[in-house]
């Protein structure tokens, strides 16, 4: 996978981590109580794997679990947090996902914080992905995100792992199909971009269809997702069972932000629905209007739109239209006039 990421354009597009999930470890720790890899899956050891991934210009991520066991039954970290933190640093780990199976949710705030402290003490920069909220919420415990971020300087997981079903996607959107077909894949990329969610691929890059590869590497969508403002999109308008989300992005022009606009249909009536809205309805107020670009359809020429001018789009059932709105400059407007 590292070879494919570096040679097939994924690294250039911005994907930089290769992360191994559960089931990489041996069922037993070594004589020094350190985690060790399964000798058949990783005969050369994790450090050799990490070094190879780094040699490709990529970063290396690994999975562990705060509880007594991982979700698949491999050794957990709860009694070995400091040892495991140092082990991961010694292996050259750049990203740690710490799951929460087989653990007491009441101890998670302290325990996840403790692991974060031990990771910091290693001196190695490691992205720390905490699954703590995914286990607290079902128990009615509201995670203290501000405290978590202040203590850990990282990001957390606020939902369960999802399958490629539309109902799971709409459940996530409520928070802020067994076969994944092309239109749904386009929708997912647009949604993750608007939500500023980490883009994680779970796919065999050796056999991926070029159509899906091109979507994953769409530079305009990735630019929305990775915009330096780092602001998550918000639901600002619902019309005719269609949600419109906006996400402020760069560039800033004459004091106004640009925006990504995601138009998400919840309709199931079997045909593309013609929707109209104005930028004013979305709280976009730049006096000189905006240039609107359709991110997914390059055949549509970008167009200048006044803030009170109707915009028409056609949205497929359970589909998405993804636009960007860039403020027009007063100088350019005067030249056109």
CA-nearest of 149, 306, 303 to 230 is 149
Give the C-alpha separation, 139 to 103, whole Å: 13
Q: Average the pLDDT over each of 97-106, 122-131, 178-187 and give the range with the smallest value.
A: 178-187
Rounded Cα distance, 186 and 299, in Å: 17
Query: Residue 268 has what pLDDT?
Result: 84
pLDDT score at 176: 41
Same topology, domains 2-161 and 164-337? Answer is: no
CA-to-CA distance for 204 and 4, rounded, in angstroms?
A: 10
How are strands ordered across the β-sheet holding 155-156?
17-19, 59-65, 95-99, 127-130, 155-156
119-156 pLDDT tens trace: 999 999 999 999 988 898 888 888 776 665 555 544 44
Residue 161 among the catalytic residues: yes
Q: Say which of 65, 99, 187, 227 is annotated catalytic.
A: 99
Question: What does the domain layout of the chain look like in residue ranges?
Answer: 2-161, 164-337
Query: Six-digit token pair at 127?
Result: 């992205």
DSSP code, position 37? B
pTM equals 0.81
The yes/no answer on whether domain 2-161 falls in CATH 3.30.110.60 is no
Q: What is the pLDDT of residues 274-316, one digit of tens each?
A: 999 999 999 999 999 999 999 999 899 999 999 999 999 999 9
Active-site residue, 32 included: no
Beta strand pairing call for 290-294 and 242-253? unpaired
Both tokens of residue 285? Answer: 């107020």
* Residues 204-215 pLDDT 10s: 999 999 999 999
Domain 164-337 in CATH 3.40.250.10? The answer is: no
Is the four-CA dihedral 176, 178, 180, 183 of positive or negative sign? negative
Report phi then psi at 147, rounded to 5: -65, -40
Burial class (CB in 10 A: 0-12, 13-18, 19+), 53: buried
Alpha helices in the chain (DSSP H): 2-7, 10-13, 46-55, 81-90, 108-121, 132-136, 145-152, 166-175, 182-194, 210-216, 219-225, 330-336
| 8 Å CB contact between 128 and 98 | yes
* CB neighbour list of residue 212: distance below 8 Å, 6 or more residues apart: 182, 185, 203
Q: Which of 30, 79, 161, 163 is catalytic?
A: 161
């Amino acid at each position: 996978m590292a070879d494919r990421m570096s040679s097939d354009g994924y690294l250039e597009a911005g994907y930089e981590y290769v992360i191994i999930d559960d089931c990489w470890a041996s069922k037993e720790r070594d004589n020094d109580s350190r985690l060790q890899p399964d000798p058949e899956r990783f005969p050369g050891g994790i450090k050799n794997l990490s070094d190879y991934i780094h040699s490709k210009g990529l970063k290396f991520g690994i999975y562990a679990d705060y509880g007594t066991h991982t979700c698949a039954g491999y050794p957990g970290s709860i009694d070995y947090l400091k040892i495991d933190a140092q082990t991961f640093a010694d292996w050259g780990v750049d990203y740690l996902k710490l799951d929460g199976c087989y653990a007491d949710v009441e101890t998670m705030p302290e325990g996840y914080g403790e692991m974060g402290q031990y990771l910091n003490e290693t001196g190695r920069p490691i992205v720390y992905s905490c699954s703590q909220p995914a286990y607290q919420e079902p128990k009615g415990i509201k995670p203290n995100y501000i405290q978590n971020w202040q203590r850990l300087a990282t990001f957390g997981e606020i939902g369960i792992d999802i399958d490629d079903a539309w109902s799971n996607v709409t459940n996530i959107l409520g928070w802020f199909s067994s076969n994944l077909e092309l239109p749904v894949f386009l929708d997912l990329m647009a949604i993750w971009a608007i939500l500023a969610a980490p883009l994680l691929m779970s796919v065999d890059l050796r056999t991926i269809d070029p159509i899906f590869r091109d979507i994953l590497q769409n530079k305009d969508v990735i630019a929305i997702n990775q915009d330096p403002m780092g602001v998550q999109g918000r639901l600002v308008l619902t019309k005719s069972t269609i949600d419109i989300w906006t996400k402020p992005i760069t560039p800033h022009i004459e004091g106004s932000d640009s925006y990504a606009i995601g138009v998400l249909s919840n309709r199931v009536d079997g045909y593309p629905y013609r929707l109209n809205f104005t930028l004013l309805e979305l709280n976009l107020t730049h006096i000189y209007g905006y240039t609107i670009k359709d991110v997914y359809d390059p055949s549509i020429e970008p167009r200048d739109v006044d803030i009170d001018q109707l915009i028409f789009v056609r949205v497929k059932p359970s589909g998405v239209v993804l636009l960007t709105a860039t403020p027009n400059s007063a100088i350019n407007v005067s030249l056109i006039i």
